[in-house]
Structure 1
Amino acid sequence: MIRIGDGDTTAYKMLVDRHLQPFLAFATRVTGDRSEAEDVMQEAFVRVWKTAGRWDMNRNTRFTTWFYRVVMNLCIDVKRKRKPTSDFDEAFDVQSEGPLPDDMLRDKQKAAHISAALSQLPERQRMAVTLCYLQELGNRQAADILEVSVGAVESLLVRGRTRLAEILAAEKDDLLKESVG
């Protein structure tokens, strides 16, 4: 960050190359939209460039912790500004990637169910679950990002897992009823 603050574009490119993919995956999971996530990442890296000159090496916060916080807050802002969409709008969002269409459809349906279930969690539970289980961060780093204690993260995870299990169980029951009827 210090080198970037001094205008070192090579250091900036190295930082972007190292952090773009994992943080883009995180932003996509939080926003649920790849295009919005790309916009978030562009803004996040602009903020890195602008704040690098004021970066304090003596702070207790690691770069990745600070950057997760920046990306998380930008994602929350995007979601707040988002216009409601209908399922009909998303029906035409078809991509032709992957080996077999049936496998892709099954994977997409599973991801949609999980994403829908995650979206029903309160914001802090959703962030804790996303950081710890989808981004595979430790509880300590998630606590730093969320600015809460490790105990609070563990509590959020327990409540989040419990609520996800309830939501997914209800969906499973509804799907079984539909397939029988």
Structure 2
Amino acid sequence: MVEQQLIKAAQSGDRDALITLLREIETHVYRTAYYILGNEQDAKDAAQEALIRIYKKINSYEEKAQFKTWVQRIVTNICIDKFRRTKATVSIEEHNMVFTSSGSVEDELMSSYVAKDIQDAIELLPEHHRAVVVLRYLQDFSYNEIADSLDLPLNTVKSYLFRARQQLQTLLQDYQKGGVRG
């Protein structure tokens, strides 16, 4: 596997391999940070901090866990620490999103409203619920990968996801009733 070769080369001191590895993961790191923290600037700061930490600690990575799990643990922990330090509610900044639709302006506008409302609802979740939702539904991690990334028991991950889905269902109940953004 190419990733494993890059990791071994990076651990042996190959700077180019390490830079290549960091470039391959930077989008995933940023995406996780953005969805946990809720705004672009904090996400950029957290992603940069995570990439620096990965750069410095690449030699501590052991093949017990998948590399992406190890990386997500680092970025998630940084985000949770940052979230706890600020203790403030952050609002999402307007951002561009890519949607696939039938092409009508009305469909695209509704899609952007729905996406914004879902993001807003995710931001209202407690930090531990938000982290598992981001890893499960936005990063497509398995329950076991989430448990490894967050250093949580598997049943705790399942419980957090169950509670998070219940909270999201309540927060988004207007959509279930066929309502639209007001």
Relative to structure 2, which stretch is displaced further, 136-145 or 116-125? 116-125
For structure 2, the 5+ residue unaligned runs are: 1-6
How far is 1:76 from its partner? 2.0
RMSD, matched Cα: 3.2
Deviation per CA, 1:76-102, whole angstroms, max 9, x where unpaired? 233334485897x95xx5769889876
- TM-score of the aligned structures, taking structure 1 as reference length: 0.76
1:50 is aligned to 56
- Higher CA-based Rg: 1
1:5 is aligned with what amino acid? Q
1:72 aligns to 2:76 (yes or no): yes
Give 1:126's aligned residue: 130
Is the Cα–Cα contact under 8 Å of residues 4 and 49 in structure 1 kept in the other structure?
A: no
The 5 Å alignment of 1:82-97 reads: 82=86
Instruction: Give 1:32's match in structure 2, choosing from 34, 38, 43.
Output: 38
Question: Is 1:164 aligned with 2:134?
Answer: no
CA distance in 1, matches of 2:84, 2:65: 27
Q: Any gaps of 5 or more consecutive residues in structure 1?
A: none
Tell me the matched-pair count.
172
What is residue 113 of structure 2 aligned with on the other side? 109
Deviation of 1:146 after TM superposition, in Å, equals 1.8
Counterpart for residue 14 of structure 2: 8
User: What are the superposed Cα offsets for residues 9-67 of structure 1, whole Å, 9 maximum, x if unpaired?
Assistant: 211122122211222211111111223222222111111121123x253x623322121
Structure 2 CA distance, aligned partners of 1:119 and 1:96?
A: 17
Distance 1:107 1:35, change over 3 A: farther
CA distance, structure 2, for counterparts of residue 96 and residue 154 of structure 1: 29
Aligned residue identity for 1:21: T
Separation in 2 of the partners of 1:94 and 1:148?
Answer: 32
| Superposed displacement of residue 126, structure 1 | 1.5
Match of 1:22 in 2: 28
TM-score by length of 2: 0.75
Q: Percent identity?
A: 29
Q: Is the 8 A contact 1:4 1:52 kept in 2?
A: yes
- Separation (CA, whole Å) in 2 of partners of 1:159 and 1:169: 15
